[in-house]
Amino acid sequence: MMTQAYYTGISGLQNSSYGIDIVSDNLANVNTAGFRSSGYEFASLFEEPVATTSNITNNSVGLGTRLQATSTNQSQGSLLASERSTDLAIMGDGWFGVEGEGSDPLYTRNGAFTFDEQRDLVTADGKYVLGTMAGNINGETLTAQLPETPLSDVAAQEKLRFPDTLTFPPQATTKVEFSGNIGTVNETRTMSSTVIDANGDKNALKLEFTMIDPQTPPGTQWSVTATTQDIQDPTLIYDTQRGVVSFDERGALINSSLTTIDNNGSAVNIDLGSGFDGVVSIGNMDITASSSADGIAKGDLVGYDINQNGEVIATFTNGMQSSVGKVAVYHFQNDQGLDRVSGTYFASSANSGQAIFYQDGNGQNITGTQMTNFKLEGSNVDMTVGLTDLIILQRTYDANSKTITTADEMIQKALNMDA
């Protein structure tokens, strides 16, 4: 029995030490973003029955304890405010994927991401973040403007790598709509609009209204001259077109012979409206003029950001934006089965199952959880619980140490008795 006390005390020391290591690691990572704390479970070793005539229910002597399992606390950590749009926090189930040492990815809740010098999306320690590229970049040119990027299959996820230089291609103006009141007084009226040519350059389209003399009642008739010219050098004129516009006695537009004009190689449709919707000729009212044109000027890349849906958004100097990629969010059948590799990184195992994506009713892959940017998920370590457990484990360690000391003293006394 005295020898057994040695083994019982030693197993107690060993397991208390395991518990202290686990709790200490938790407390050391109380400020680590995305950290998942670990718990411990102890179990008794085989017990040896003891013959007794008493009515004591438990009539066995334990042979010590062992560390049966460590579990991962999957509770949500508190959200911490950040100043970067590339910092993401998952609000619910799911894991970010990063490129691991081998072919298999690692998974983390730490969404502290940033773009490195090569415009690759990486973690704070340089691991590449996995996701889906939109496929709308050819070299340094954006080929399509996308509101979102569909998430591809799990096995198709890749590094999110973006060019340092990216151009939003110009879209030439095809239509300009004019509106306003040119009045009924015989004075020259002008309207203008900015138009984009096929090269992405901004040009000016100007309309000049002159009342026709003599007039043919009822209503009014105006001649209109349209001119396209370089916005920086007005002497450089690309085209001039002339027409006639007619209004009824109420001032509503009933006819216009001005239709299109050339804008440095691109045809632009001139729309003056109809009736009271567009250009009108009404007396005793303020003279007004406005225009609306389609077309987009060429834009250069300002930078990349990530929105709360995990979309990587490219922003350009022309005010345009487009999704160019999507951060993947992975799910598992059993999150507890993930193996901790180090710190906030986990790997899939036979217990966790392979990573999957959730799907919507149409069978399309989706993130399946809510995310938020400009925030990070903090550690889910409860410092109060951790410090309490540390005190308990330390006292348990001391108690097992005294068990060994007592057993040693008993053996010494027994040996002295034999002498």
pLDDT band of residue 61 (cuts 50, 70, 90) is low
Residues whose CB is less than 8 angstroms from the CB of residue 74 and which lie 6 or more positions away in sequence, other chains included: 36, 335, 336
Amino acid at 63: L
Q: Are residues 408 and 372 in the same domain?
A: no
Q: Are residues 360 and 389 in the same domain?
A: no
Q: Are residues 136 and 203 in the same domain?
A: no
Residue (of 112, 168, 153) closest to 302 by Cα position: 168
Average pLDDT (368-389) is 87
How much is the pLDDT for 15? 72
Q: Which residue segment(s) compose the domain that 58 sits in?
A: 2-74+379-418
Q: Are residues 133 and 179 in the same domain?
A: no
pLDDT band of residue 53 (cuts 50, 70, 90) is low
How much is the pLDDT for 45? 64
Would you state the structure tokens that stand for residue 118, as one six-digit string?
Answer: 């090569």
Note whether residue 92 is domain-resident. Answer: yes
How much is the pLDDT for 72? 84
Amino acid at 95: W
Note whether residue 309 is domain-resident. Answer: no
Average pLDDT (390-418) is 73
Note whether residue 305 is domain-resident. Answer: no
Q: Which helix (H) or strand (E) holds 141?
A: strand 141-142
Note whether residue 38 is domain-resident. Answer: yes
CA gap 141, 317 in Å, rounded: 14
pLDDT band of residue 80 (cuts 50, 70, 90) is very high
Residue 338: is its pLDDT beyond 70? yes
pLDDT tens profile 282-308: 999 999 999 999 999 999 999 999 998
Q: Are residues 245 and 205 in the same domain?
A: yes
CA gap 176, 292 in Å, rounded: 6
pLDDT band of residue 23 (cuts 50, 70, 90) is confident
Average pLDDT (38-48) is 67
Angle formed at CA 254 by CA 252 and CA 259, multiple of 5 degrees: 120
Residue 6: is its pLDDT beyond 70? no
Note whether residue 279 is domain-resident. Answer: yes
Question: What residue has token string 């590449």?
Answer: 128
Q: Are residues 331 and 397 in the same domain?
A: no
Q: Are residues 232 and 249 in the same domain?
A: yes
The number of folded domains in the chain is 3
Q: What phi and psi, each to the nearest 5 degrees, are found at residue 154?
A: -55, -45
pLDDT band of residue 58 (cuts 50, 70, 90) is low
Neighbours of 49 (CB within 10 A): 8
Residue 172: is its pLDDT beyond 80? yes
Quote the percentage of the chain above a pLDDT of 90.
Answer: 64
Question: Do residues 225 and 240 lie in contact, with contact meaning Cβ atoms separated by under 8 Å?
Answer: yes
Q: Are residues 285 and 369 in the same domain?
A: no
CA gap 417, 419 in Å, rounded: 5
Note whether residue 316 is domain-resident. Answer: no
Residue 419: is its pLDDT beyond 70? no
More confidently predicted of 3 and 376: 376
Quote the percentage of the chain above a pLDDT of 70.
Answer: 88
Residue 398: is its pLDDT beyond 80? no
What is the residue-wise DSSP string for 375-413?
EEE-----HHHHHHHHHHHHHHHHHHHHHHHHHHHHHHH
Q: Are residues 202 and 110 in the same domain?
A: no
CA distances (Å), 226 to each of 198, 241, 260, 271, 345, in order?
A: 19, 5, 9, 12, 65
Would you state the structure tokens that stand for residue 357, as one six-digit string?
Answer: 């994506």
Note whether residue 62 is domain-resident. Answer: yes
Q: Are residues 195 and 277 in the same domain?
A: yes
Question: What residue has token string 């340089």?
Answer: 126
Q: Are residues 126 and 34 in the same domain?
A: no
How much is the pLDDT for 68? 63
Q: Are residues 183 and 285 in the same domain?
A: yes
Residue 370: is its pLDDT beyond 60? yes
More confidently predicted of 278 and 68: 278
